Structure 1
Amino acid sequence: MTAAAADELHERCFLTAQAMSSLKVSEHFQVVKLLGEGSYGKVMLAVHRKRGTPMALKFFPRQSTSLTSFLREYNLSLYYCTHPSLTRALGIFFSTPSHYVFAQQAGLYGDLYSVIVSEVGLEEECVQRVMSQLSGAVTHLHSLGFVHRDIKPENIFLCDSSCRWVKLGDFGLTRPIGSSIYAVWYESPFCTPEVEAAKVGEKVKEGDDTGEEEVPIWMMVEPSIDSWALGVLTYCLLTGCFPWEESTNDDPAYRRYKAWFEREAGERSGRGEQEADMDRIMKENHRNNPPPKQFHGLSPLVMTLLRELLHPEPRRRGSPEEVLSYLGGPWLMETEREERRRAEEAEREARKVREAGGGVEEELLREGRGER
């Protein structure tokens, strides 16, 4: 599947290169406003003059963008992003003297980053709704043989103001599963820990005055890269913060997490797999091996999910699909406490009903025996 996906994408890029046309933007589109911009270029909201259709035009500067990379992102978005929570291209692509451009579905309500309240996050129900959609979208992309490699709030676009429909976009870093890429470390909690070796290389490069060339570090593109990003994103949406600044041993917060993770893994290994009551196990673990302070306030349920997605070893990391197994339960401690309070109230009411019912039954028995 992986080789076939890469070959098919390459063929599509070759064919579309033959059909590239030159257009003047103002003749075919009415540009309304800027939707976003970054290192890749910019995205403008526009209306097609003949069709009257609103769309997003993504502009890539020709000076800093190769035709190959432009066509790869365009074809990925057009042919492979068929899931409702993936941003899809609209079949319009062209060049101008200064830019390569393609049209895609517009996220009219901004991106996820714009609605996250700092140090607060989003409502828990909203977080689970978003993660459910992203789990499906990323699983779909993986099934076609591709890894997104750039999942973050800025690349998740809103189709409404309540996050009931979100779309993952920006496929500039997407690559086929199994392909080899040059490992690049960057200071971000989304950067996977297996890239830490590249950070050491960067330090050597910065301090190297011998004139020797840097030896490149290569890594394989695997779905576990996206799993890590989904774990960090879950934490971010629940808390409005990041769990650490960078996923390396230089970061104290990450070191605390890794130490907790290793204790947790050791306890699970010693306990074996015969345990069946997972809810009880999760809560016991939470008490016996409390998570680092940055995770206080998160429930045992979501900590189990994060432990699956944020496994330091990429080969043992859980898949994006595992998010679905943790939906519906409480992801925040305050939600768990509220659910427990309601359950206790319901039990008290049920007990009253049972006791009242018992009194009625006794009265009816006395009536039947003529003991009025």
Structure 2
Amino acid sequence: MEMLDELQQLTAKTMEKVDVAKQYDTIRELGKGTYGRVDLAIHKVRGTKMALKFLRKKTTKQKSFLQEYCISRYLSACPYIIGMYDIAFETEEYYVFAQEYAVAGDLFDIIPPQVGLSEHTTKRCIYQVALALDYLHNRKLVHRDIKPENILIFDKECRKVKLSDFGMTRIAGTTEKRVSGTIPYTAPELCEMSKHSGFLVNHSIDVWAFGVLLFCMMTGNFPWEKALHLDSFYYEFLQWQRYKSAAIPSQWRRFSPHALKMFSKLLSIEPEKRCAIKDVFWYFGKTWLVNKDDSPTPDAKTNGDVFVQIKPPSLPFSGGEALSSNKTDTSPSLSFSSCSSYEDVPKENNANAMLGSTPIEICV
């Protein structure tokens, strides 16, 4: 805490106003949002490609900028966390810092909607994310915004993956105001709080989001839209976790017993019962997906009754919206984040993609 405070104070004293055009050749815009934008640029003196993050002064306090920059620098020694350059400055409109450029984009770009990644690729990627989070948690920090868009990749096979975006990161044990809105990665204890309530920041928030992220990677679907009783997918999961005799929800039947056990530890309804990130490493030696011939039958533990199962909301192409002429409860966009201070970057290639109405699956 003291070291981060000192680093922020030092950065504030040494930060200068810079004419970007004089010191950098801007190649292209990597993304933009209400927070500002991210540009790919080449430093004219160093000749190095780097990502410049511009945070708009109108919407970002200097303290928040310094906090994100300094925490990012503090953590960047970890090989699984995005590297930082010793560059922070301001312009008339923006606060700016420079970080490592991830040539392949982010994890969201490579997750096939409604399909997911292979078990091998998922394990290779999520292992590096777990190492990054374990490093973070060992330093008493909580990321608070774990999602595919904040996991940067350097190749499509995920041989090199790094955690990024520490604008929401806080020291464990501090109290934060509840941010309005929820996304699929938001833990249930936060979803149930009022908009103006404060909450204690702890590692279990990241553990829950990590579990949801893992599900998304392997299925190309969200497990639920919001972790609230009113969400039918979450309620079904809740019943299954609380009453082990309940039927395994259809979207979870693809997972092996070992994987289901791992998910139960990551997605424990009670925060205090969630495992530490390091506890998942044991499961990497186990199979996570079952063969179709070995998967539980659709009527498992249903007493033979016919029931209707709505398929889980799918991951839309980034930048697209879930549209339906018949339903109002459309699937949420993975790039929508109501618990982040930043609006996610729209992906240009998929800007016109969209989803149809949620299909119904009849299980007997």
TM tier relative to shorter chain: 0.7 to 0.9
The answer to whether the aligner puts 1:98 opposite 2:111 as a matched pair is no
Q: Deviations over 1:139-167 (max 9, x none)?
A: 00111111000000011101112111111
Match of 1:354 in 2: none
Question: 1:185 Cα deviation (Å)?
Answer: 4.2
Question: 1:336 Cα deviation (Å)?
Answer: 9.2
The answer to whether the aligner puts 1:322 opposite 2:279 as a matched pair is yes
Distance 1:249 1:289, change over 3 A: closer
Q: Deviations over 1:274-295 (max 9, x none)?
A: xxxxxxxxxxxxxx65421121
* Counterpart residue identity of residue 36, structure 1: G
* Counterpart residue identity of residue 219, structure 2: T
Match of 1:259 in 2: 239
Q: Does the 8 A contact of 1:193 with 1:247 survive in 2? A: yes
Matches within 5 A, 1:154-233: 154-198=149-193, 201-202=194-195, 216-233=196-213
Q: Does the 8 A contact of 1:131 with 1:323 survive in 2? A: no
Q: Percent identity?
A: 38
Q: Does the 8 A contact of 1:81 with 1:141 survive in 2? A: no
Distance 1:316 1:148, change over 3 A: same
Superposed CA RMSD: 1.6
* Counterpart residue identity of residue 192, structure 2: A
Question: Bigger radius of gyration, 1 or 2?
Answer: 1
Structure with the largest fraction of strand? 2
Q: If the length of structure 2 is used for normalisation, what is the TM-score?
A: 0.78
The answer to whether the aligner puts 1:9 opposite 2:9 as a matched pair is no
> Quick one: which of 301, 304, 309 aligns to 2:258?
301
> Quick one: which of 6, 26, 33 aligns to 1:38?
33
Gaps of 5+ in 2: 296-364
Matches within 5 A, 1:48-197: 48-197=43-192
Counterpart-to-counterpart distance in 2, 1:183 and 1:291: 32
Counterpart-to-counterpart distance in 2, 1:305 and 1:54: 39
Counterpart-to-counterpart distance in 1, 2:161 and 2:180: 28
The alignment partner of 1:15 has SS state of: helix
Question: 1:88 Cα deviation (Å)?
Answer: 2.4
Counterpart-to-counterpart distance in 2, 1:318 and 1:170: 24
Q: Does the 8 A contact of 1:185 with 1:196 survive in 2? A: no
Count of residues in correspondence between the two structures: 295
Give the 4+ runs in structure 1 shifted more than 6 A.
Answer: none
The alignment partner of 2:211 has SS state of: helix
Question: 1:89 Cα deviation (Å)?
Answer: 1.6
Q: Deviations over 1:41-98 (max 9, x none)?
A: 2111111111111111000011111100001111111122321111122110100111
Match of 1:23 in 2: 18
Question: 1:246 Cα deviation (Å)?
Answer: 0.2
Counterpart-to-counterpart distance in 1, 2:110 and 2:252: 21
Match of 2:42 in 1: 47
Match of 1:246 in 2: 226
Counterpart-to-counterpart distance in 2, 1:28 and 1:335: 57
